[in-house]
Structure formats: C-alpha cells, structure tokens
Amino acid sequence: MSQISETPVLSRREWLLSDRPQSRLQARLGRAYMTWRRFSSNRLAMVGLGIILLLVAVAILADVLAPHSPVIGNLGGARLLPPGSEGYLLGTDDQGRDILSRLLHGSRLTLLVIVLVAVIAAPIGLLVGAVSGYAGGWVDAVLMRITDIFLAFPKLVLALAFVAAMGPGIENAILAIAITSWPPYARIARAETLAVRHSDYIAAVRLMGASPFRIVLRHVMPMCVSSLIVRVTLDMAGIILTAAGLGFLGLGAQPPLPEWGAMIAAGRRFILDQWWVATMPGLAILIVSLGFNLLGDGLRDALDPRESGQ
C-alpha cells in the first residue's frame, strides 16, 4: 500500500513568525505582526486606540448621531438648560444650542486640525532633519540654527504671533500650528540620520553610484519614520491643546463653528452657575488628549528596537 507523503502546511501565524521568510512581503508582514502583538499586549495602548477610533467614528457619523443642529439654537425656551432637561443630554449653551450636537460636530474640526498639522509638519521636519544629518557641514549648521530659533519660543506664543499676523480663522490656525510643530521632528530625524549615515549599507549604496538625493529619500528617511510616527502621535495632545487655546482666545475657529476651545471660552462666563457649558468641551479635550498620549506610549513601546528580541 503506497504511502502518500504530505507536505506540512504552515498556519498563518507560523508563516508570519517564520525566521526564514521567503519574500520581502513575508518579512514585512512578519515585522508588522510582531509589532501588533507587542502593541496589543499593552492594555492602556488599546484603550487609547479605542478612544481614537471612537473619535474618528463620531466625526464620520456626526450628522447621524447629533440630535439637534450644532449652530441653530432656541433662545426662547432652551437657553442654558442643565444636562438631561427636555431631551438635551448634555444641556444647552447661552444661545440655546445643544452641547452634545456641538461636541459631535466639533470632533470633525479637531480631527481636521490633527490630520492637517501632521501632514504639513511631519514631512517638513523629516526632510530638514534627514538633509541636515546626511549633508553635515555648513548645511547642518544653518538648518539646525533655524530649528533652534523656532525651538527658542514657546509653541503657543509663536502660534499666536503667526495667527495675529495672518488673521483669525481655522485655516490660519492650522498653518500656524504646523509652522511651529516641525522643529522637534527635524531634531529626531537628524539624530536618526547621524546614526545610520556611516553604516555599511549606506556606503554600499553610495558605491553603487546613488546620488545623495536618492540616498536620503530612499534609504535614510525610511529609517526615521518609526521614531517620527511615535513623536507625532505623542504631539497630538499638544496640537489639540494649542488649537483649543487659539480658539479660546478667539484666534482659531470663528463662531458659529463648534470648536471645543471656543466653546470653553463662551462658557467661562457661566462656569459657577451653568458649569456644564464649559465643562463638557473641556472633558472632550481631556479624553481625546489622553487617548493620543496612551496611543503614543503604546507605539513607542511597540516600535522600540530594544523590544524586538522579545
């Protein structure tokens, strides 16, 4: 009776954890899987991820979830109602507008500020830091001195100066925050570049005739991305607070846009008697900032090269 030899079939988990990957795709997926395992083992990081996913879902479904209009109020019979009164779960503000609806729609502005600042500031910082670290000499000195000038001023003060020069508005606030946010990313990218620019594989690429531009773009900058992602995630809370500060001072989103900082500013007059007007948007800022901090800490631990051997 002939025996049929069966080829062992690897499970999906074994395939991802194989120490002899058969392709670059398998190697990349294996690293991503190990990173996810380290990240998901951190309960606080998963809580932060859940908060951020909830923020995204609320921003997408704000029109469906909001029970009332975020900009149209009822001055006649719904002004400064406490939470739970007449169908207003979180109460109303001084214009008779539902606070819950304004918070839900304000999540879109918060997410917009976060995404646009990250998209603008992170690439600028990555490019400046990588070029500075790889070129060295006078290029490094000039770029780092410009970076030091930006770092010498508190971020909020510098953002206030830019917004005051450009005029109030959510677009100018986003631009001002982005202009003041790139220097730390440049510092991180420069440090990562200095650590790898004399490595063997960079020397091999240089001997193959690759131009400095190609080396920086294709081989140096990708090495800086993981550290940059962690720093950007940790900076999200600061970006939210800076945007809220600009809105509080009347230099961010303008009425009647439901920006959380502007909502706190509008409610500060009623903080003693109608506490919910300023407290609810303050709690929203607190929860979202906490979520980004927890997510950033989890990403830092998961992407830490010292953890890769575990």
At 21, the pLDDT band (50, 70, 90 cuts) reads: confident
What is the rounded CA–CA span in Å between residue 126 and residue 188?
8
Q: Which CATH superfamily is domain 40-67+88-308 in?
A: MetI-like (1.10.3720.10)
At residue 238, what is the residue type? G
pLDDT at 1 exceeding the cut of 80: no
User: What tens digit of pLDDT does each residue of 263-295 get?
Assistant: 999 898 888 889 999 999 999 999 999 999 999
At residue 146, what is the residue type? I
Cβ atoms of 180 and 172 within 8 Å: the answer is no
Within its chain, how far is the Cα of 97 from the centroid? 29
Q: In the chain, what's the furthest Cα-to-Cα distance?
A: 92
- DSSP designation for 92: B
Residue 92 pairs with which residues in a beta bridge?
98
Flag the least confident range among 40-49, 101-110, 220-229.
220-229
Residues constituting the chain: 310
Within its chain, how far is the Cα of 119 from the centroid? 9
Q: For the chain, what percent of residues have pLDDT higher than 70?
A: 95
Flag the least confident range among 22-26, 33-37, 200-204, 272-276.
22-26
- Predicted pLDDT of residue 14: 74
Residue 85 pairs with which residues in a beta bridge?
88
Nearest to 127 by CA among 217, 201, 198: 217
Cβ atoms of 157 and 220 within 8 Å: the answer is no
Backbone angles phi, psi at 198, to 5 degrees: -100, 10
Residue 25's alpha-carbon distances to 14, 21, 22, 160, 220, in angstroms, are 15, 9, 8, 46, 20
SS3 232: helix
What is the rounded CA–CA span in Å between residue 133 and residue 129?
6
User: What tens digit of pLDDT does each residue of 114-141 get?
Assistant: 999 999 999 999 999 999 999 989 999 9
Nearest to 286 by CA among 82, 61, 102, 103: 103
User: What tens digit of pLDDT does each residue of 213-271 get?
Assistant: 888 888 889 888 888 999 999 999 999 999 999 999 888 888 889 999 999 998 988 88
Cβ atoms of 244 and 251 within 8 Å: the answer is no
User: What tens digit of pLDDT does each residue of 149-191 get?
Assistant: 999 988 888 999 999 899 899 999 999 999 999 999 999 999 9
What is the rounded CA–CA span in Å between residue 234 and residue 231?
5
pLDDT at 24 exceeding the cut of 90: no
Across residues 189-218, what is the average pLDDT? Answer: 88
